[in-house]
Amino acid sequence: MTYLAKEDRYSQMTYNYCGSSGLRLSAVSLGLWHSFGAGDNYDNCRDMLLTAFDLGINHFDLANNYGVPAGSAETTFGRILSSDLAAYRDELCIATKAGHYMWPGPYGDGGSKKYLLSSLDQSLRRMQLDYVDIFYHHRPDPNTPMEETADALEHIVASGRALYVGLSKYYSDDARAMYNLLNERGIHCLVEQVRHSMLVHPFKDDGLFQTLKELGMGSIVFSPLAGGLLTDRYLNGIPSDSRAQKSEFLKKDEITPELVDKVSRLNDIAQRRGQSMAQMAMAWAANEPSVASILIGASRPGQIVDNVRALVKPEFSDDELNEIETILAE
C-alpha cells in the first residue's frame, strides 16, 4: 500500500531552533539505536517510522553501529526511506554518527579522518542517501589530535556529505575546544548530544549546557528515561520481557529497592500532573533551556504516541520542580 503522510502532521508538534542556527527540530526525535536491526520485524519498524512522521517527528537519529549486526539499522532505515518516505526527503532531518568501534583494524574506530570519512560513505550507501543533514563525532578520541577530527568534519561539510556537524558526549572543555577549531575553519558546530535524565546526568555539573548556550550550540538529550528506569515498568518487579532481563545496557542489579522507592514517589507527581512516569521524565529533560529535542527510542508505535503526549502537559510549577529535586537529592 502506498504511504501518504497525514496532512495535519505539523499541527501537533512543537519545533525548536537548534542553538543559534536556523534549523528547527521536532521537540521529540526518534532514535534507531534499538529495535531496527536485521532481526527485528520489518513491518513494525516501518510502522514506527511512519507513525513518528505522521505525528510531526521530522528528525531521525542513527549511527554507523546501530542495529544488530552493526549497520543494520541504517540499512532498515534506507529501505523504508526509499519505499515510503523518499517523496518527503526534504521534510526530514536525518543524522548519523561515527566514533565507536565499527570494523576490525586500525581504521574502524576513533576520530581519524580516514575512519570518519570511510564510515560516513558506508552510512550513505546503507541509507541510500546522497547526504545526511547532521553528522556527529560520536565520542571524543584522546588518541587522535582534535585538529585532525576538525579537519575531517570540515571536509565532510565541504564535500556535501553533510549539511551540519555536531558532537556527542563531549564534556564542556572539549566541546569548546572543538567548536573553536571548527569555527577557525569556517564551520559552525551545530549541536551536541547529551546523556541527561533525572537519574543519570553526567554533564549536569560540568557546566556543559551553559557552555553550549554561550557558543550558540543546541543540545539534543538522549536516554531521558535512563534506559527504561524512569517508567512504571519496574515498580512491581522486573517483567520477563523487560530490557533489564535481556539488555547489556540495563542490569537487574541496578533496580534496587531504594531506586524503586524513588521512582514510585516521582510517579506520584506524574500522576498528579496527568502524565505517565515516562512522559514526566521526558518533560523534565526538555525543561533545560538549551534542549532543542528529546531523543526517544521505541519498540512499538504506541510508545511513540505516548511519548509525544508529554509535550501537551503544562509546564512544571516551582513547587513541582522543588519536590522532584528533593526526591532526586535523596
The whole-angstrom distance between residue 110's C-alpha and the CA centroid of its chain comes to 20
- CA–CA distance, 98 with 214 (Å, rounded to integer): 26
The half-sphere exposure of 91 on its side-chain side, counting CA atoms within 13 A, is: 15
Residue 120 lies in a domain: yes
Residue 112 lies in a domain: yes
C-alpha distances in Å from residue 223, one per residue of 4, 20, 156, 171, 228 = 31, 24, 27, 17, 8
Q: What percent of the chain has pLDDT over 90?
A: 82
Residue 121 lies in a domain: yes
pLDDT digits (tens, 9 = 90+) for 70-103: 999 999 999 999 999 999 999 999 999 999 999 9
For position 318, which CATH number holds?
Answer: 3.20.20.100
Residue 198 lies in a domain: yes
Residue 208 lies in a domain: yes
Residue 243 lies in a domain: no
C-alpha cell at 74: 541504517
The whole-angstrom distance between residue 189's C-alpha and the CA centroid of its chain comes to 17
Average pLDDT, the chain: 93
Residue 219 lies in a domain: yes
pLDDT of 120 above 60: yes
Which residues share a beta bridge with 28?
294
**CB-CB neighbours of 313 under 10 Å:** 15
Residue 6 lies in a domain: no
Domain that holds residue 114: 15-229+276-329
- CA–CA distance, 122 with 116 (Å, rounded to integer): 10
The answer to whether the pTM exceeds 0.75 is yes
Report the domain count for the chain: 1
